[in-house]
Amino acid sequence: MDIIKYSRYTNTTKFIMPLLFNNIKYHELFQNFFINAYIGDVAKKENDDNIHLVFADYPSLSLQLQLTDPISEYKYNDAYVLVYPLEEEWLDDYNKLIKGEYSQISEKAKKRIIYFWDVDNTSVLWCVLYKEGNSIHLFLQDILGLKKPSKFSKYKEWWVDYKIHEEIIGLE
């Protein structure tokens, strides 16, 4: 699933959430009524900088068995929020991602994201992480109607800045 093409999902969902999972692919979450992921909640500041997974219904027991225990869980409107910490090995990548430095994350993090979303080097997501390929040009032609997008710079990231106000529950 080339998640990057879907604007309803946060950048936390697209880039950071996959770091939580070792052998899980996206469809296991989406089959459990997954809505979105965030890095914080205005009303629950004690959980800032942890990953907040929002579900329309409480996740199935089979999914729960594949996850570590959440450090917090609560209802938000009609949804369920489960909060998970990132393992220490991903903290440097996390800091780069929230600064919008998508191509600067570790190779291990890139591979984890690619595995989770089940994509390859023909996806827009792969182009963003590696700043290579032409799938992003084709995506821009389709979405923005650009006839011939200009060549992307090797010095600038190939995706939008990480907008913190879109990544926190209660601010979006």
Question: What is the rounded distance in angstroms from the CA atom of residue 35 to the CA atom of residue 53?
Answer: 8
User: How does pLDDT run across 146-170, given as a tens digit for each residue?
Assistant: 555 555 666 666 567 788 888 888 8
pLDDT at 141 over 80: no
Question: What is the rounded distance in angstroms from the CA atom of residue 24 to the CA atom of residue 62?
Answer: 12
Task: Sort strands 168-169 and 79-84 into parallel, antiparallel or unpaired.
Answer: unpaired
DSSP for residue 27: H
User: How does pLDDT run across 50-105, given as a tens digit for each residue?
Assistant: 999 999 998 887 787 788 889 999 999 999 999 999 999 999 999 999 999 999 99
73-112 burial, b at 16+ Cβ within 10 Å, e below that, comes to eeebeebbbbbbbbeeebeebbebbbebebbebeeebbeb
So what's the pLDDT on residue 7?
Answer: 76
Burial class (CB in 10 A: 0-12, 13-18, 19+), 53: buried
Whole-model pTM?
0.85
